[in-house]
Amino acid sequence: MSSPSTPGVAMERRDLDASLIGAGEPAAVEVIAAEADPFVFVCEHASNRVPRTLVDLGLPAEAFERHIAWDPGAALITRGLARRFGGAAVLQAYSRLVIDCNRAPELADAITPLSETTAIPGNVALSTADRARRIDAVWAPFHAGDR
């Protein structure tokens, strides 16, 4: 299904792990279908959004405006390049603080407890099951859309 505000953008719910991403929240990945050229633009740090179940990871709202949470402007540039060249785009729809899709999920810093000098309370002492939920709900759908 397409997003009504962004023509040509597939917002398919591929992240069926409702225990992490709830009803009414965006899918873990935004996929823009190619119009012409074979280019694929990828943006791992497109968003500063956090699923409601993670309660902002214990951080104040202003932390999500900083580079620790996302790459400000990267999504806009990625969408613009896809539109300009008629290529596809794959954008991570949740903050890298939830899980960094630019890291292998088994690496410790894929879900970092410290970003720059900021402690991330919601990422401390995660169980194997909690890590797996984030991988299944955010990392895996992003990489499936990346093909």
44-103: per-residue pLDDT in tens?
999 999 999 999 999 999 999 999 999 999 999 999 999 999 999 999 999 999 999 999
The pLDDT value given to residue 146: 52
Residues 6+ apart with CB under 8 A from 131: 105, 111
DSSP states of 74-97 as a string? Answer: HHHHHHHHHHHHT-EEEEE-S-TT
Q: Where do the domains of the chain lie, and which CATH numbers do they carry?
A: 9-145 (3.40.630.40)
User: Does 11 have pLDDT greater than 80?
Assistant: no
3-12, 16-25, 62-71, 124-133: least confidently modelled range = 3-12
Long-range contact set of residues 84-87: C-beta below 8 Å, sequence gap at least 24: 85/36, 85/37, 85/39, 86/34, 86/35, 86/36, 86/37, 86/39, 87/34, 87/35, 87/36, 87/37, 87/38, 87/39, 87/40, 87/41
Q: What is the pTM of this model?
A: 0.84
As a whole number of angstroms, the distance between CA 25 and CA 18 comes to: 10
User: Does 110 have pLDDT greater than 70?
Assistant: yes
Residues 6+ apart with CB under 8 A from 88: 31, 32, 33, 34, 39, 40, 41, 82
83 or 15, which is more confident? 83
The pLDDT value given to residue 127: 94
The pLDDT value given to residue 62: 97
User: Does 33 have pLDDT greater than 60?
Assistant: yes
37 pLDDT band, cuts 50/70/90, is: confident
